[in-house]
Amino acid sequence: MTTTMQTPKDQLVKLAEKQMLTALTDNTYTPRQKLALTCRILFDGGHDSGLAGQITARAEEPGTYYTQQLGLGFDEILASNLLVVDEDLNVLNGRGMANPANRFHSWLYRARPDVNCIIHTHPLYSASLSMLEVPLQVAHMDLCPLFDDCAFLKEWPGVPVGNEEGEIISKAIGDKRAILLSHHGLLIAGSSIEEACVLALLFERAAKMQLLAMSAGEIRPIPEALGKEAHDWISTPKRHGAAFSYYARRVLRAHGDCLS
């Protein structure tokens, strides 16, 4: 006999969220392993652009973070070849050097204590959309984790290796978790590595869908209240963690070496 057919939606949402707390298990990867997995996941998701782009996460000591070694592609990143750098990009652990463009990550980490992982990439569809100097439009249910959570920087500040770019980008993103940078690419500011990875994949899909929809007609907005409802429903640590675990299982079938 059914017991929930007359239950209001808000109660069903709360019930599902409660069930997810125990039904969805957390992964046990180390931060280094999560970052290596993220690099491979994003590579397979079309986020590679040669050596462009940076993925960072806060390390154990304040003012330090993990990042990939300049000269290695996302598909070459291992847990063991990640660097630990300080805010001045001095290498504290590892060999080689960080991408000089990591400087703006230091600014964003300072401005946003809630951010623990930053992903900046130049994937095909997001980079193509950035050339039109138009914001990302979130008008589909699956994309709602980005609803009212994606900023837009219309004026390209040039190569992001100076402190000026750090100030500009950290100010432009504000308190949001994503931003489209004109003539450049995307940036995700996540509270966790899992969240940042999932949102980066979603951002590129959103850009692709926007370009496809724009080629067919005018994109119709979704109601604000429903967009926010979907945002909050999908954007939870458990949901992002479960999605990351799925992508990790998938990528490990092809890139099992990345955890070494």
Look at the chain and count its residues: 260
Instruction: Supply the pLDDT for residue 159.
Output: 78
What pLDDT is stored for residue 1 in this prediction? Answer: 63
Question: CB–CB of 146/178 below 8 Å?
Answer: yes
* Res 129: pLDDT: 98
Could you report the average pLDDT of every consecutive run of 10 residues in the chain (260 residues)? 85 91 94 98 95 96 97 97 97 96 95 98 98 97 97 88 88 97 97 98 98 97 96 95 97 93
Q: What is the structure's pLDDT at 160?
A: 76
Strand 91-93: give its sheet, edge to edge.
91-93, 83-86, 64-67, 54-58, 117-121, 185-190, 178-181, 150-153
